[in-house]
């Protein structure tokens, strides 16, 4: 059996989730920067494992299942941590939109796969841009303590996260629209 680098990176990302939470709450000097580094490293391994899976021909059913799960878990946990620290209504709404969309799209993809139409809800360009904005915003927000830093950088991070939330809704609409076409073709009762 061949060692699968992409699957190993995906498993590493999952193992980093409790590390992120522990570092975030452990009060040592620069703990927020370390937490941001853990999340940033995980975000980079997401891109690397996808690239390596294609490049090395190591795409597996296990990886296809686990990779998006690892991403969604890491993002959801990071956003929950951040809501505690940046707990304004607008911030909380953005986090809820992002987490809620991930749940909806995961369920939609699973259901579409059961219908044999999984490719109808494949990752879109808007979804990729949303992910980039989301990862940058979360990484930066993990590094900043809003209680001690009210700089332009914090405001910029909020804007990037809110843009990610808008892109999240937009990409969800694209996926739902594509699924709707398939559903209408399969069930004329709509």
DSSP per residue over the chain, as a string?
----HHHHHHHHHHHHHHHHHHHHHS-STTHHHHHHHHHHHHHHHHHHHHHHHHHTT---HHHHHHHHHHHHHHHHHHHHHHHHHS--HHHHHHHHHHHHHHHHHHHHHHHHHHTT-GGGGPPPHHHHHHHHHHHHHHHHHHH--TTT--SHHHHHHHHHHHHHHHHHHHHHHHHHHHHHHHHHHH-TT-
pLDDT in the model for residue 56: 83
pLDDT in the model for residue 144: 93
The tens-digit pLDDT sequence of the chain (190 residues) is 467 888 889 999 999 999 999 999 999 999 999 999 999 999 999 889 888 888 888 888 888 788 888 999 999 999 999 999 998 999 999 999 999 999 998 888 777 777 766 555 566 788 889 999 999 999 999 999 988 877 899 999 999 999 999 999 998 888 888 888 777 777 764 4
pLDDT in the model for residue 132: 93
Global pTM? 0.88
């Amino acid at each position: 059996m061949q060692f699968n680098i992409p699957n190993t990176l995906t498993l590493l990302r999952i193992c980093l989730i409790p590390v992120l939470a522990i570092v975030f709450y452990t009060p040592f000097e620069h703990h927020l920067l370390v937490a941001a580094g853990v999340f940033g490293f995980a975000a980079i391994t997401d891109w690397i494992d996808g690239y390596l899976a294609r490049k090395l021909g190591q795409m597996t059913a296990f990886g296809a299942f686990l990779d998006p799960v690892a991403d969604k878990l890491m993002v959801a946990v990071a956003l929950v941590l951040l809501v505690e620290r940046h707990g304004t209504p607008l911030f909380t709404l953005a986090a809820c939109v992002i987490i809620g969309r991930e749940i909806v799209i995961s369920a939609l993809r699973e259901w579409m796969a059961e219908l044999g139409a999984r490719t109808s809800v494949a990752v879109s360009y808007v979804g990729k841009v949303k992910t980039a904005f989301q990862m940058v915003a979360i990484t930066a927000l993990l590094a900043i303590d809003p209680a001690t830093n009210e700089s332009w950088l914090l405001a910029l991070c909020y804007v990037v996260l809110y843009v990610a939330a808008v892109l999240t809704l937009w990409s969800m609409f694209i996926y739902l629209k594509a699924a709707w076409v398939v559903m209408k073709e399969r069930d004329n009762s709509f």
